[in-house]
């Protein structure tokens, strides 16, 4: 497959951004007016050899574009022996669909590499999507009134698997982290999300009939079930990528949640399922609050005025900020929600949109 017919517009070149993850493929067009973005489930650890076919199908209805901007995290999937192996395999699949001269890979040093260059320098390309999003999000901060000043913010991206918490300013990304392990140690990466996290890895016990009940150490339910039950995520009856391979609906979530305490959906009351789900959400709020405190606590002699939210888990950040404690302590007075400014689909695919924007502004093909 080749790129679509080049646009005759004199505006910035149109690009497609690809964020290739371990569980999802995200795509977005650089022209916001086109309103074209997608987030598709893709189990890299099961089907890495079908990545090219999945990309070809996903891109079939896209608006015209001149180039492909790639960022990734899927190289960590355990179907690959090493991160270098993963980067090479992913890029080989991408260039089966798109001619290599049209493909540019965004790297954690903020530079672009060709597929062959990125394959030779895999650690620069690995786990780069957070950096692309943070780099692009700096434009959402207000311009300083003078050259000696700098506007500061914190990006919070909440997705199905992870949460990113990254300080940014109008001058650059404010972290020395380059790898996932760097970010984990600095609390800039929380490895829990609003869909895929196993409940028994998140909480040790939940309230049940007036007492604490330990959870069974099985993947009977995930965070998606808690948020389906609480109404924060929409039902998807045709989606059976769940712990028991039953539909992603509130009623089926009820049964999955009951199993974590050795019961089933017919033996527990609604209030019991409520309590389990609220406990799960409370733990994720606690983790996010601690991460924000750690990241913002490193700022000396200046306040971080803006908080930028992306992903489809904005409801979790809203609840974390609801009591006003973090805002009062760190000066988080201005809030930018990409789901409001760009729409829910673009917010969910924010790293793909970000990398398409960066390519459109900085690259020519």
In the predicted model, what is the mean pLDDT of the chain?
94
- The confidence score (pLDDT) of residue 218 equals 96
Question: Does residue 357 carry a pLDDT above 70?
Answer: yes
Kindly report whether the global pTM for this prediction surpasses the value 0.95: no
Question: Does residue 23 carry a pLDDT above 90?
Answer: yes
Comparison of pLDDT for 302 and 12, the residue scoring more: 12
- The confidence score (pLDDT) of residue 145 equals 77
> What CATH class does 15-127 carry?
alpha beta
Mean pLDDT of the 325-339 span: 92
* Paired sense of beta strands 334-337 and 15-20, if any: unpaired
Give 64-100 pLDDT, tens digit per residue. Answer: 999 999 999 999 999 999 999 999 999 999 999 999 9
Q: What percent of the chain clears pLDDT 70, i.e. is strictly above it?
A: 96
Residues in the chain: 365
Question: Does residue 9 carry a pLDDT above 70?
Answer: no
Enumerate residues 6+ apart whose C-beta is below 8 A from 117: 105
Helix (H, G, I), strand (E, B) or coil at 269: coil
Intervals of CATH 3.30.420.40 along the chain: 15-127
Q: How many CA atoms lie within 13 A of 48 on its CB side?
A: 21
Question: Does residue 162 carry a pLDDT above 80?
Answer: yes
- The confidence score (pLDDT) of residue 155 equals 98
Supply φ then ψ for residue 13, to 5 degrees: -60, 135
Question: Does residue 6 carry a pLDDT above 90?
Answer: no
Lookup: tokens for 359: 């390519």
Residue 302: pLDDT band (50, 70, 90) is: low
Rounded Cα gap, residues 311 and 158, in angstroms: 5
Supply φ then ψ for residue 180, to 5 degrees: -60, -40
CB atoms within 10 A of CB 266: 8
Give 186-208 pLDDT, tens digit per residue. Answer: 999 999 999 999 999 999 999 99
Domain 144-342: CATH superfamily is conserved archaeal protein q6m145 (3.30.420.190)
Mean pLDDT of the 214-219 span: 97
Intervals of CATH 3.30.420.190 along the chain: 144-342
- The confidence score (pLDDT) of residue 150 equals 87
- The confidence score (pLDDT) of residue 11 equals 58
Question: Does residue 1 carry a pLDDT above 60?
Answer: no
Mean pLDDT of the 41-60 span: 97
């Amino acid at each position: 497959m080749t790129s679509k017919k080049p646009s005759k517009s004199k505006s910035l070149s149109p690009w497609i951004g690809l964020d290739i993850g371990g569980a999802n493929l995200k795509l977005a067009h650089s022209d916001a007016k086109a309103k074209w973005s997608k987030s598709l489930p893709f189990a890299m650890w099961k089907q890495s050899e079908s990545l090219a076919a999945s990309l070809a199908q996903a891109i079939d209805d896209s608006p015209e574009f001149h180039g492909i901007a790639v960022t990734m995290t899927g190289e960590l999937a355990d179907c690959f022996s090493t991160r270098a192996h993963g980067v090479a395999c992913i890029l080989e699949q991408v260039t089966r669909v798109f001619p290599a001269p049209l493909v540019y890979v965004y790297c954690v040093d903020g530079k672009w590499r060709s597929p062959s260059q990125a394959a030779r320098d895999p650690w620069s390309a690995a786990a780069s999507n957070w950096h692309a999003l943070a780099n692009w999000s700096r434009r959402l901060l207000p311009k300083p009134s003078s050259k000696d000043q700098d506007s500061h913010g914190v990006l919070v991206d909440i997705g199905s698997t992870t949460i990113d918490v990254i300080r940014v300013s109008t001058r650059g990304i404010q972290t020395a982290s380059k790898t996932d392990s760097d970010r984990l140690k600095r609390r800039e990466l929380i490895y829990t999300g609003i869909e895929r996290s196993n409940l028994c890895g998140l909480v040790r016990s939940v309230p049940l009939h007036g007492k604490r009940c330990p959870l069974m150490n099985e993947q009977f339910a995930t965070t998606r079930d808690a948020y389906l039950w609480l109404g924060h995520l929409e039902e998807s009856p045709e989606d059976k990528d769940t712990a028991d391979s039953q539909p992603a609906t509130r009623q089926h979530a009820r049964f999955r949640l009951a199993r974590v305490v050795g019961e089933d959906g017919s033996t527990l009351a609604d209030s019991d399922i409520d309590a389990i789900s609220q406990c799960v959400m409370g733990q994720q709020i606690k983790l996010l609050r601690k991460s924000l405190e750690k990241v913002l606590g490193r700022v000396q002699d200046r306040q971080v005025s803006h908080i930028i939210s992306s992903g489809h888990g904005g409801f979790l950040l809203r609840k974390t900020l609801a009591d006003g404690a973090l805002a009062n302590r760190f000066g988080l007075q201005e809030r930018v929600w990409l789901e409001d400014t760009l729409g829910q689909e673009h917010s969910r695919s924010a790293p793909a949109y970000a990398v398409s924007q960066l390519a459109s502004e900085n690259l020519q093909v």
